[in-house]
Amino acid sequence: MASISNLKDQAKVWEQAERWQDMALCMKEMVEIVHAEHEIGKLASEERYMLSVAYKNMVGSRRSALRIIASVEQKEADGSETRQAAKWLREKVETEMKEMCDEVLELLDKFLIPSVHNADSEVFYQKMKGDYLRYLAEITDGKEKEDIVKKAEESYKKAHETAVAYMPPVNPIRLEVALNFSLFHYQTTRYGITPQKQDAYKDSTLIMELLQGNATRWASEN
């Protein structure tokens, strides 16, 4: 079994090589080892950030792919071979994305959230849980989607309340919570958007995601 130090070194190399799945495997194993050796899965702030980076890039590439595939699927005529191929690929990528989100959520619920020892880790993990539930909501519908959205809102609320209580307004993690919570609310109301407003919705979502990226970078530098 690799040591925590060795896994961290490997993860850093995988990050530079942009091998996100390998990086995620290292970080997942690190969480499990920390939990087994210390009974509680405490990660340092740098390690939390590395865990987030690995899974965010893995899931992010699938989210981007799904947007493109969905666009192709919608443009093609019903019954066409291209549309059928796009549908098959969409379902394949959705399955991959769901498995990744489920893996992150299991790490959070089983190891990380029960181990919180300060406001920073509480806010970070609850925000992360809200994020991956939000990603799951993007690829589900009906009652399942409603349940996921409720759970995501609960996690974002916990992160927001803790951030407001214990962090200054300019804290990067607090800013990221505010941005992601806002994006969550905006996305959950998009079903009432008319076709004429779709471009404005896409532009606003892009702006918020760019702000989110900036906040994440500031948090890593803090």
Please report the DSSP string for 5-28 in residue order.
HHHHHHHHHHHHTT-HHHHHHHHH
User: pTM here?
Assistant: 0.84
Q: How many residues does the chain have?
A: 222
Q: Which two tokens stand for residue 74?
A: 């919608």
Cα dihedral 201/204/205/210 (nearest 10): 160
pLDDT recorded at residue 96: 98
Asked if residues 127 and 112 have their Cβ atoms less than 8 Å apart, the reply is: no
Tokens 């941005």 appear where?
179
Asked if residues 3 and 11 have their Cβ atoms less than 8 Å apart, the reply is: no
CA-wise closest residue to 174 among 222, 141, 207 = 222
Question: Phi and psi at residue 43, in whole multiples of 5°?
Answer: -115, 145
* 34: alpha, beta or left? (left if phi > 0; alpha if psi -120 to 50): alpha
- Helix (H) or strand (E) run with residue 41 in it: none
Q: Which two tokens stand for residue 65?
A: 């792919």
Rounded alpha-carbon distances, angstroms, from residue 67 to 1, 49, 124: 39, 26, 27
Alpha helices in the chain (DSSP H): 4-16, 20-38, 45-75, 81-107, 119-138, 142-166, 172-188, 198-221
pLDDT recorded at residue 198: 47
Per-residue model confidence as pLDDT tens for the chain (222 residues)? 688 999 999 999 999 999 999 999 999 999 999 888 765 558 999 999 999 999 999 999 999 999 999 999 989 888 899 999 999 999 999 999 999 999 999 999 999 999 898 999 999 999 999 999 999 999 999 999 999 999 999 999 999 999 999 999 989 999 999 989 988 988 876 544 333 444 555 555 565 566 666 656 655 555
Asked if residues 76 and 86 have their Cβ atoms less than 8 Å apart, the reply is: yes
pLDDT recorded at residue 197: 46
Query: Structural domains in the chain?
Result: 4-167 (1.20.190.20)
pLDDT recorded at residue 78: 85
